[in-house]
Structure 1
Amino acid sequence: MASSMLVFTALAVVSTPFVALVFWNYGLPLLFRIISQTVGITLGWYLRRKTDGRRALILRITEDNEKIFQEKNSSQHSGGSSNNSLRDWETIEGGVSVGTAQNGEKGEQDWDGIVAFFHPFCNAGGGGERVLWAAIRATQKRWPKARCVVYTGDHEVTKEKMLSRVENTFSIHIHPPTITFLYLSTRHWVLPSTWPHVTLLGQSLGSLILGWDAFSLLVPDIFIDTMGYAFVLGLSKMLFPDMPTGAYVHYPTISTDMLDSLDPSTSVGGQGVNAGKGVGAKGMAKRNYWKAFAAIYSWMGASVDAVMTNSTWTQGHIKKLWGPRREARKKDHPIAVVYPPCAVRELEAQIPVDEANEERREKVLVYIAQFRPEKNHTLILNAFAEFVASGGEASKDAKLVLVGSVRDDADSKRVYQLRLLVNELHIKDQVIFQLNASWPDILQWLSKAYVGVNGMWNEHFGIGVVEYQAAGLICVVHDSGGPKIDIVTEVDGEPTGFHATTSTEFAEGFEKALSLPDPLSVRRRARISATRFTEEEFARKWLAQMEYLVALKKSNS
């Protein structure tokens, strides 16, 4: 008996390290996963119960508003008048397919669930907001009975004012009865000013607070982030594993190019606002911090059911970051490129590309971009100075116009520094600053300019470059990102513009663009190229992803 106990004790002692190792590698992660899933699902159940009342209220109010809207329209029609907003709603996107089911037949239009869009800054009026409103419009058209909810932090803006601005700014007509705004109270947690240090991580952690705020207001049937808050998408899957999620990614919060730019010895070590900052002890700490953040970002983003990116460049980086984990989680729905909707049709209608307008073109190079550091206005000014100093025929009487918005004091100081640089380069008489230009002013420049310029390294897409092409401008753009891969590409084997990296290459590009023997043919090809980025194309691709999410919701119900 004693010998048996001795043997048992010896085996226990010998096997303890192995048991501990197995538990550490397999048992502990499994235990943590079980606990976290249990806690997450419990909190999700609590939030659903908490917001059931508001959900019922939204369904009832939207139904009542739809009846009032239809009755008002019927009475106006019977009286011989027509409601302009409804007429626009009925006719808009008439040529766009409402979508197809997976078997190729016309999909059902009777889905009446709630789609929530997470866009805390929806009143900003930029390209990201154009994507949001075009997506909502397409969704409303495809599923007229669905309810669209927008989580926003714009407390000072009523629904009526919001929709009026959308119509005036983007010429997008949202159907009022089926859209609801829910107002977040914690938006300050995602502001850069709240996190002066470790900003990337701080804003992402702050977005978790903002996400909890959103789900405390309403738990939707489908949740879509259109601003780039991957951590909120990860949170939604922890709380509601069966709720379909979608993401429209304008740019990755962190990318391999950002990491490589820290190292001055790499091919991109001299590019971007963090160029070469990965040296020394401080640089090493920054590099390790970014790598750790990239790992967390990948883990959070990999949970999304339908991922859309605004460009091939963004798609490539998201595939690198999220792809391996998506495969491990059996997320086999492809990451799709859905180009943002651009004002191509409006520019086509406003600006002719023909021989008559060619005569009105002036020797003007226009750069439309906010006065932010990454837009690299300094590069373009140095390039233009080289171009002028070359003394070629093309450079005589040429002018460079910098069109952009000034958001704050930092932008104002940046413009002041650029004006000083213009004086130092002796090109003051040939450079025009057009600050906070209105859309009509921008149209004027696009109609008479000769060349469109873009100097940003790794521009994620480049809506401004699309507008150049739609207006018939000959583009000289940075040889990277969306402008290189997606936009300024060949049509029928012929170029639509030029690419450059250094100031000398840009100067050479300006010379080539202004010396073309047949510029009108290049302008026509550029306009053809721009048709890939219309609102109709966006709606078609957006609805393909939405149909997947709706089908997923139906299968999970």
Structure 2
Amino acid sequence: MVASSFVATLAVVPLLPLVLLLLIRLSIRGLGWFLQVKSRDRRAAIITKVRQDREAISTRLRSTHQASEDGWEKIEKSGSADSGKPMHNEWEGIVGFFHPFCNAGGGGERVLWAAIAATQKRWPNAICAVYTGDHDIDRSVLVTTVKVRFGITLQEHSLVFLYLSRRRFVLASTYPYFTLLGQSLGSLILAYDAFQLLVPDIFIDTMGYAFAVAFCKFLFPKVPTAAYVHYPTISTDMLESLDDTTGQKGINSGAGAGWKGKVKRYYWLAFAVLYGWVGRQIDVVMCNSTWTQGHIRQLWGSKKASSTFGAIVYPPCPVEELQAKVEVTQESEKRRENITLYIAQFRPEKNHSLILRAFAEHHKLAKDKPKLVLIGSVRSNTPDEKHIYKLRLEARELGIKDATTFICDAPFSVILEYLQRSSVTTNGMYSEHFGIGNVEGLAAGLIPVVHNSGGPKMDIVVPYDGKPVGFHAETAREFAAAFGRVAALPPDERYAMRLRGRASTKRFTEAAFANKWVREMETLVKMHATNHP
């Protein structure tokens, strides 16, 4: 009897992990069902309000017999079924955009607003809901700000903001140790916060919280998910930087030394495995550059849900507007000043310090004394404010205070002014995932001097028609030398390089982004239709 019980127990033991996994899965699905029920009334209220606003706008337009140029009734349809007829044009679902810092004003936010604008034009009856931790956002004010800062027009009536209350769980400052893991797990808490407010029909992360997207898939298996990846949370470049002794490979250069370095290395390797597993749960993946695509495909592997897994969807850049507003002619050459322009958020990884040191060296040797202008956003109540203060002190210590200008949170009009006046654009970040500021500079006719890595090297500052459009550098001395090479170019050669650089930016237009974004979105809409026949 005892022997029989013992044998039966041994037979059951191997099944315990499977039973445990089944119970966990059922618990997660049950939680998902609970969240759907809990947010059902808010969902109905949002849909009703949007429909009322849409009808009010329609009535007003009919009464005045006119529609604005960017009005919701003038929607550009794209994509078609095999029969040639438009497909899913009348889809009325809710697209949830997970972007906790949507008011930051950087390149990531430009992608968010351009994605929403493209979605609204393609599916005019859809609702775009943004999950954000910026509680001070007023929808009307933000729509105006996006128009002024980025030149992107949003349809206000179908844009909804859902305010998160637990954003502190994704702040790096919350996790002094094991920051990557802490922020990733913290995004699960923030995602739960989001789903308590509303469970969308399609869930898209546009900021880099892959764990949140995978969590959505486990909670709601029938909700299609997507991620637009600006920068992988972990990459082989980060691992390689641990052994760097030059200090030129980002903020973690040389951090692999000693026993603490070994712990960090094993921790990063383990996190990379976990990050890869999480990424494989996402249905549609888009990457902003060749560099990002390479790392994501290596870490996340292949996907069956999307035939274009890891497709490169270049961020939208105001190329058309810049080409229309910034003249690049022999006459405009006479009006350009000896200004080097760096457009980037004021964060440590952007390595403004490298550019300051390089510019100081270049400034000492230059006969025609150049100027340096740094333009970028500064997130309030974050270390960004302290960082820019330190940069100002460094400029003073380097003796270039009078030749250096810092401009924070500039509207697009100010950026446009400096793109018209400047001669050189630069970027000092190691393994910059893309670098919209470099594209803006090229489109405006500036000659780029960028870091010899990442997107600027692989996607942006690449030969056009077999000839260079700019220069690459790594150290402060190399950057200073490159600045000197631009200054020494004969006028005709410098002008020809400006023209080549401008011509090379056609692949980065807002229209190109919208077309590729809609193509990936159609995959998600089809998935939703299949899951909800």
- CA-CA distance at 1:12 after TM superposition: 6.3
Gaps of 5+ in 2: none
- CA-CA distance at 1:225 after TM superposition: 0.9
Structure 2 counterpart of 1:401: 373
**3-state secondary structure, aligned to 2:301:** helix
> Residue 249 of structure 2 is aligned with which of 259, 271, 291?
271
Q: CA–CA distance in 1 between the matches of 2:401 and 2:160? A: 50
**3-state secondary structure, aligned to 1:553:** helix
- CA-CA distance at 1:396 after TM superposition: 3.5
For residues 543 and 437 of structure 1, do their structure 2 counterparts lie closer, same or farther at Cα, with a shift above 3 Å needed? Answer: closer
Q: Which amino acid aligns with 2:520?
A: Q
For residues 73 and 399 of structure 1, do their structure 2 counterparts lie closer, same or farther at Cα, with a shift above 3 Å needed? Answer: same
CA contact (8 A) 2:149 2:411 kept: no
Runs of 4+ in structure 1 displaced over 6 angstroms? none
TM-score by length of 1: 0.87
For residues 372 and 119 of structure 1, do their structure 2 counterparts lie closer, same or farther at Cα, with a shift above 3 Å needed? Answer: closer
- CA-CA distance at 1:332 after TM superposition: 5.1
For residues 548 and 445 of structure 1, do their structure 2 counterparts lie closer, same or farther at Cα, with a shift above 3 Å needed? Answer: same
**3-state secondary structure, aligned to 1:223:** strand
Structure 2 counterpart of 1:88: 70
Structure 2 counterpart of 1:422: 398
CA contact (8 A) 2:469 2:497 kept: yes
- CA-CA distance at 1:125 after TM superposition: 2.1
CA contact (8 A) 1:269 1:275 kept: yes
Q: CA–CA distance in 2 between the matches of 1:98 and 1:332? A: 19
Identity of aligned residues (%): 51
Write out aligned runs for 1:387-466 (5 A). 387-389=362-364, 391=365, 395-407=367-379, 408-423=384-399, 427=400, 430-435=403-408, 437-466=410-439
For residues 292 and 40 of structure 1, do their structure 2 counterparts lie closer, same or farther at Cα, with a shift above 3 Å needed? Answer: same
**3-state secondary structure, aligned to 2:71:** helix
- CA-CA distance at 1:28 after TM superposition: 4.9
Q: Which amino acid aligns with 2:419?
A: L
Structure 2 counterpart of 1:42: 30
- CA-CA distance at 1:104 after TM superposition: 6.1
For residues 170 and 227 of structure 1, do their structure 2 counterparts lie closer, same or farther at Cα, with a shift above 3 Å needed? Answer: same
Gaps of 5+ in 1: none
Q: Which amino acid aligns with 1:294?
A: A
RMSD between aligned alpha carbons? 2.7
Structure 2 counterpart of 1:72: 60
> Residue 453 of structure 2 is aligned with which of 450, 457, 480?
480
CA contact (8 A) 2:77 2:89 kept: no
Instruction: Confirm or deny that 1:252 pairs with 2:224.
Output: no
Q: CA–CA distance in 2 between the matches of 1:124 and 1:382? A: 27
CA contact (8 A) 1:371 1:414 kept: no
Q: CA–CA distance in 2 between the matches of 1:462 and 1:395? A: 30
- CA-CA distance at 1:403 after TM superposition: 3.4
Instruction: Confirm or deny that 1:524 pairs with 2:499.
Output: yes
User: What do residues 249-300 of structure 1 show as CA deviations (whole Å, max 9, x unaligned)?
Assistant: 11111111112211236xx874110111111111111222222222222222
Structure 2 counterpart of 1:370: 345
**3-state secondary structure, aligned to 1:109:** coil
Greater Rg by CA: 1
Q: Which amino acid aligns with 1:556?
A: N
CA contact (8 A) 1:43 1:239 kept: yes
Structure 2 counterpart of 1:218: 198
Q: CA–CA distance in 2 between the matches of 1:371 and 1:462? A: 13
Structure 2 counterpart of 1:548: 523
Structure 1 counterpart of 2:272: 294
TM-score by length of 2: 0.91
For residues 152 and 398 of structure 1, do their structure 2 counterparts lie closer, same or farther at Cα, with a shift above 3 Å needed? Answer: closer
Q: CA–CA distance in 2 between the matches of 1:165 and 1:552? A: 34
- CA-CA distance at 1:464 after TM superposition: 0.4
CA contact (8 A) 1:101 1:547 kept: no
- CA-CA distance at 1:173 after TM superposition: 2.0
Q: CA–CA distance in 1 between the matches of 2:401 and 2:117? A: 45
Structure 1 counterpart of 2:510: 535
For residues 40 and 417 of structure 1, do their structure 2 counterparts lie closer, same or farther at Cα, with a shift above 3 Å needed? Answer: same
**3-state secondary structure, aligned to 1:88:** coil
> Residue 361 of structure 1 is aligned with which of 331, 336, 354?
336
Q: CA–CA distance in 2 between the matches of 1:156 and 1:279? A: 44
- CA-CA distance at 1:333 after TM superposition: 4.5
CA contact (8 A) 2:210 2:279 kept: yes
Structure 2 counterpart of 1:238: 218
- CA-CA distance at 1:178 after TM superposition: 2.1
Structure 2 counterpart of 1:491: 464
For residues 70 and 234 of structure 1, do their structure 2 counterparts lie closer, same or farther at Cα, with a shift above 3 Å needed? Answer: same
For residues 431 and 141 of structure 1, do their structure 2 counterparts lie closer, same or farther at Cα, with a shift above 3 Å needed? Answer: closer
CA contact (8 A) 1:364 1:451 kept: yes
For residues 165 and 195 of structure 1, do their structure 2 counterparts lie closer, same or farther at Cα, with a shift above 3 Å needed? Answer: same
Q: Which amino acid aligns with 2:372?
A: L
